[in-house]
Structure formats: C-alpha cells, structure tokens
Chains A and B, each alone.
Chain A
C-alpha cells in the first residue's frame, strides 16, 4: 500500500529523517516508536505531503504523494489538535468531514453510533465548541473523524496520549478491528510500548531519523523494545 524509497528530510543541512526502504502492505497495522525527535511526526507529515522530502519519495497506493493529490480521497489522519476546527461542535465537524469525503448526514450518524461507548457521552450533543473541550475529548473527536468515509489508510500520531484508560482500551480494539476485519492500513505512532505491541502487527523503531529495528510483533517484542529503550 505504502512504499517509501530513499526518503530523507533535512533542515539546514541537519538530517532528521532517512529511510532507505519501507514497504507497508495493505491491511497492516503498523507501529512507529522512538524517542522525542526520532522523526515519527516528520515521517507522518511527509506521508501527508505537509512537508517536502529532501530526497526520495513516498508512494501511497501507487500515487506519488508529493506530486499528485489523488491519495487524499482514501487517506485520512489525525496528527494533532490543529486538525480540528475549533469553532465547530463535534457533530458539525464530523458532518463537515463527511461532506468532504462524500458522505451524507445519515452515513456519518450511523458511523458515529458505533462509537457511542468510545465517546463516553462527552462528545456528542454537548453544545460545546471543539476548542472548549478537554485535550482528551478533542483527541477522541479527532480520531473518530479520521475514520469517516471508509479510508483505506489511516494515520494516527500518538493516539493514546491524553486518553483515559477506558478509551485507550477501546481504541485498541477499534484499530485492531480496522486492520484485521476491514483491511485498512493503520499507521500509529506512540511512546507507549505496551499499547503499540498490543495493537500493531509490525513495529518499526526510529532513532535520530534512522530505522534501527523492524519487528514482526510476537510475545518477545515488548521485552525486546524495553531492552532497546532502557540503555
């Protein structure tokens, strides 16, 4: 689904990301871990054509991301709060995203109905603008918005941060379900090794922009990751 080739990004001669080769097949749940400044968000931003690669390219379903806009209809993402429109209510925001992705109100409503327990009664029908919600609730709204319109690729940056335990567990189920049952390619980054190993079939470790580990998740993965990060 996603092919990365010779991708690098430098700012003023300092390289922050350098990925020679990376293939993410369709329907894989892909986890990205690494300390601060490892290049996770940089990679996601490149994937969404928010920054320009210094060298190389990313292909999303055979579309060259930095040259064509054709990847947009089947790709959705939630990177940070700047993906929310602060002056809308959660419903208005969902409908707006729905309209952009060619879904009508009832399509969106039926999708939202599945996430009732995820929202925990704190998002819908609250008569509050998104900017007035707490960080965690903003995140919930953003993540669900990224699921609207049957995307084939979903990119979530640090989706577990700021969420309460109940929601974290629920989110893990959702992500797993997306990848296994619906064949959606899900890319997730996280600082929480436990969550990533729970959710992702494959985990890539970034360090100072370089890929240092590429693991197929197994029983031993969590131990290996902990060992890697503790020295």
Chain B
C-alpha cells in the first residue's frame, strides 16, 4: 500500500505546478534550498567554537541549552505561518479500500519529511558531531541529539494542532507573550529554569525518554484528531468562517475608485495569503533598525537610502508586485464587467499610495535616529509614491501567475506569483533610489541627495497620467494572455 502512496507522492511532486516552471526557477529554488541548508550546517558547525570564544567561562552546550527555548518558540512561529497539514489530499483516498489507520499514519509520517524538520537536523547534527570530536561523552551527546530531534518533531505535530484549533493557538500565544514580557520587564527570567531543564536533559541521558514520549503523545493526539474527523465534514473540511462584516461606506468619498478600494480592503482582510503579505509588510517597517543602528552604514548613506525605501515601501513592494494576480480568481469577471482598465489600475495605485502614507506615519519613531535619517525616510516615501508605484504596476503587467487567495503560501512552493521577470523588475525598485541619492550626494552633499530623491518622486507624481496611460496600454495588450494564464488550473 505504502508503495502506491509513495508513487502518488512522487507524481504529485514531479507534476506540481511550481516544479513545471522554467529552468531558471528550478535552479533558483535549488540554490535557495542549498543556501539555507548550507547556512544551517555551517552555523551548526561553528556554533561550538563561536560560543566557546564569546563566552569562555560557559560550556557551549550549556549555553545552547539555556537559549534552546527561544529557538523552539521561533520554530513554532515560523511553522505556524508557513507549514500546513497536508490533510486536504486524503479526500480521494477516503472511498478506496485502504484502512483508515494506514492513510493517517502515512499522512503524519509524511510530515516528518517536511523541510522545517530538516532545519533543526542540519543545525544540531553538525553541532553534535563537533561535540563528539571535542571529546564530550558519546552517550550523553547522542541521546541529547535524539532528544532535540524528538522535540523538533513534537513541534511539528504540535503545529498542526495549533493550526486546527484556535484555542490552542491563543493559549500558546498568550504563554509566549507572558514569558517574553516577564523577561523584558526583568520580573522573572524564564530562560534560566528552562535552561536548567534542557541541561538536565543533557546530564541525565535517560531523560531523553521525556521528549520521546512527548512526541509519541502528540502524534497520538494528532492521529486521534484526524481519525475522529475522517469524514468530509470533519478534519478535512475547509473551515467555514462567519462573515466579518465591516462598514466601509466611509470609503465612498473616494468616488469612482471607492468600490474597488472597498473590495481590496475586504480581499486583504478575509483571505489568508494577502493577510500574510500584510503582516510581512508590517515587519518591513523595522527594516531600518538593522541599518540605522550600525555605524558602518552611517558612512555608506546609499545603503541608508536603500533601507528607507523598505521602511515605507513594505506593502508597496510585497503586495504591489502581485497586482493583477490578487484578482486572478475572478479576473474574467472583472474583464467583462463595466470596468475600464484605467480605473482598476488607478484604484490599485491609490491603495499603494495610502499604504506608503500609513507606513510613513508609522515610521515617525525613527526621528530618534536623527532628522537626517527621518529626512531619508521621507524622501524614500516620496520616491515610493511617485515612482515605485508605477514601476511596481508596470512589473505587474508582466506577471501572469495565478494566486490562490485563501491558501497560505508555503515555504519553497511559494513560487506562486514569482518569476524571473519579477526579479528583474525588482532591481530598479531598489537600485534606482540608491543611484538617485548617491550621485548628487557624491557630487554635492547629503542634502542634495535627499532633495534629488524626493524630487524624483514629485516629478513622477506630476506625470501620473502619462505613466498610468502607458501602463494601461501594456495591460491592455497582455489582456488575453493574462486571462488565459489566470484561468489555467493550478
């Protein structure tokens, strides 16, 4: 039986849409996997020596154990947002004469091969090997490693429970928040007792049984959960959510753009994928912290310009680059309804402009880093509004990959709406502002750079109609191709 399953799995993999994309994508994906895998192995390999050097008086393994909890929480978070229980595929299997238990065991077993599980493996395997070479006791290290892997798989199974049940999610989320705030306000550092727990795990090898049992327990819970819900209306059914109705009539003041804007707001709010993007673009706001806090970048203001684009442009870049794709599910309707293309594009443009403006307001705390930095952010925002919006819309015209709105993007199958043209079009979005700033900066001074960057945005705004007309022409020309591509089965 398993043989059949594996055969199906292989076909699914080989014939998956992301695998049938161009060679360039395949190579990129392969490199990405290599890259992340390589980084994990590398970090795992040097972790011991790095820690030994940084904290000479603490045993590296103790150090790792002390902070292991943060890794676990981080992993849990990443998985929550990225990993999905592959339970949807069992529908066709339900009526075939296969034992339910076999299917469920297989299903759960399959998740062990998830990419996420390998991150930990790649990280801790080299670390453990280094430990062995350093003469740490073999039994302790091996059992510790096994324990970590069991914890890793426990997270794997725990994640599915969290994903399926809101109560578990809110429970865990509040525990995490409490723990972090307790530590932040110096009331109680939970790191220490938990660190002790993990150290105990290392010192008393037979404690490795606990994570093992934990893993088996969670496996059992998952198993029962799916077993109980092994009906069309059970675990595999889509969650039908109650409508969250919000009154958006205040947006009517945007005139002919209003119906589209209202629609886009609902689209973002009610679908998993755009929500994910919105969350990501919020994180972009903090991008500046990486650059502005480091002194090396103070002397390379071109990089500060680069960062400034991201601070206000998170939504613009991540949402905007997929512009027609967001409406791919009902694109045919839009194209045959009473909608001039121009209006459609303009409403998207307004949405991005509003997003940049909101991000700009949210970025005011950056004044803390000085007016120069904030001026840079302001100039970047102007550039984003005046030029980047148009470049992004233009890039969208070349993007014909449909998006499933209510499905979370998965890691490494996240090529939905991603292609090499996209990559090319992303270049000017980032390089152009750097040049616009850097050349006057080199020739004249810092302020001249700022003014040039801001001015380019203003000029873009002045030519708004010209740009939109041009872009409309391109969209119009690609209309049939886009419709055909969007109606392809995913």
Assess the B339–A72 pair: CB atoms within 8 A: yes
Tally chain A residues at the interface, Cβ within 8 Å. 33
Assess the A87–B332 pair: CB atoms within 8 A: no
Assess the B263–A96 pair: CB atoms within 8 A: yes
User: In the complex, A50→B332 CA distance in Å?
Assistant: 7
Majority-rule SS of B interface residues: helix
User: In the complex, A222→B259 CA distance in Å?
Assistant: 45
Please choose the segment from A15-23, A108-116, A124-132 that sits at the chain B interface, where 4 or more of its residues have CB less than 8 A away: A124-132
User: In the complex, A181→B66 CA distance in Å?
Assistant: 80
Report chain A residues within 8 Å CB of B245.
Answer: 89, 127
Would you list which residues of chain A between 64 and 96 have a CB under 8 Å from chain B?
A: 69, 72-73, 75-77, 79, 82-89, 92, 96
- The residue from A52, A83, A127 contacting B330, defined by CB atoms under 8 A apart: A83
**Least CB distance, A67 to chain B, in whole angstroms:** 11
Report chain A residues within 8 Å CB of B258.
Answer: 99
Report chain B residues within 8 Å CB of A123.
Answer: none
User: In the complex, A76→B333 CA distance in Å?
Assistant: 10
B369 at the binding interface (Cβ < 8 Å): no
- Among B266, B331, B332, B337, max chain A CB count under 10 A is at B337
Number of contact residues on B: which range applies? 20 to 34
- The residue from B242, B263, B333 contacting A127, defined by CB atoms under 8 A apart: B242
Assess the B337–A87 pair: CB atoms within 8 A: no
Contacts A99-B258, A101-B338, A127-B242; A87 near B483 (Cβ below 8 A): no
- The residue from B335, B337, B405 contacting A100, defined by CB atoms under 8 A apart: B337
B444 at the binding interface (Cβ < 8 Å): no
Assess the B266–A92 pair: CB atoms within 8 A: yes
A175 at the binding interface (Cβ < 8 Å): no
Report chain B residues within 8 Å CB of A92.
Answer: 266
**Least CB distance, A155 to chain B, in whole angstroms:** 9
Assess the B263–A97 pair: CB atoms within 8 A: no
- Nearest A residue to B256, CB-CB: A99
User: In the complex, A84→B405 CA distance in Å?
Assistant: 13
User: In the complex, A89→B242 CA distance in Å?
Assistant: 10
Contacts A87-B405, A129-B243; A82 near B332 (Cβ below 8 A): yes
Assess the A82–B241 pair: CB atoms within 8 A: no
- The residue from B262, B271, B331 contacting A87, defined by CB atoms under 8 A apart: B271
User: In the complex, A48→B332 CA distance in Å?
Assistant: 9
Would you list which residues of chain B between 328 and 382 have a CB under 8 Å from chain A?
A: 329-333, 335-341
Would you list which residues of chain B between 230 and 276 have a CB under 8 Å from chain A?
A: 238, 240-243, 245, 258-259, 262-263, 266-267, 270-271
Assess the A89–B480 pair: CB atoms within 8 A: no
Assess the A73–B333 pair: CB atoms within 8 A: no
Report chain B residues within 8 Å CB of A75.
Answer: 336
Assess the B480–A52 pair: CB atoms within 8 A: yes
A212 at the binding interface (Cβ < 8 Å): no
User: In the complex, A75→B338 CA distance in Å?
Assistant: 8
User: In the complex, A52→B242 CA distance in Å?
Assistant: 40
Q: What 0/1 pattern do residues 472 to 490 of B give for CB contact below 8 A with A? A: 0000000010011001000
Would you list which residues of chain B between 17 and 75 have a CB under 8 Å from chain A?
A: none
User: In the complex, A131→B270 CA distance in Å?
Assistant: 11
Report chain A residues within 8 Å CB of B480.
Answer: 50-52
Assess the A79–B484 pair: CB atoms within 8 A: no
**Least CB distance, B232 to chain A, in whole angstroms:** 13
Would you list which residues of chain A between 109 and 163 have a CB under 8 Å from chain B?
A: 127-129, 131-132, 149
Assess the B405–A86 pair: CB atoms within 8 A: yes
A49 at the binding interface (Cβ < 8 Å): yes
Assess the A48–B242 pair: CB atoms within 8 A: no
B181 at the binding interface (Cβ < 8 Å): no
**Least CB distance, A193 to chain B, in whole angstroms:** 27
Report chain A residues within 8 Å CB of B262.
Answer: 96
Assess the A51–B483 pair: CB atoms within 8 A: yes
**Least CB distance, B281 to chain A, in whole angstroms:** 19
Assess the B338–A82 pair: CB atoms within 8 A: no
Report chain B residues within 8 Å CB of A72.
Answer: 336-339
Assess the B406–A84 pair: CB atoms within 8 A: no
User: In the complex, A50→B482 CA distance in Å?
Assistant: 10
Assess the A82–B329 pair: CB atoms within 8 A: yes
Contacts A86-B406, A87-B405; A127 near B243 (Cβ below 8 A): yes
- Supply 20 A–B pairs (Cβ within 8 Å), ascending by A: A48-B332, A49-B335, A49-B336, A50-B332, A69-B340, A69-B341, A77-B336, A82-B329, A82-B333, A86-B330, A86-B406, A87-B270, A87-B405, A92-B266, A96-B259, A99-B259, A100-B339, A101-B338, A102-B338, A127-B243
Report B's interface with A, CB cutoff 8 A.
238, 240-243, 245, 258-259, 262-263, 266-267, 270-271, 329-333, 335-341, 405-406, 480, 483-484, 487
In addition to A87-B266, A88-B263, 6 A-B residue pairs with Cβ atoms within 8 Å of each other are A50-B336, A72-B338, A82-B329, A83-B330, A96-B259, A127-B243
What are the 3 closest A-B residue pairs judged by CB atoms, nearest first? A83-B333, A99-B259, A48-B336
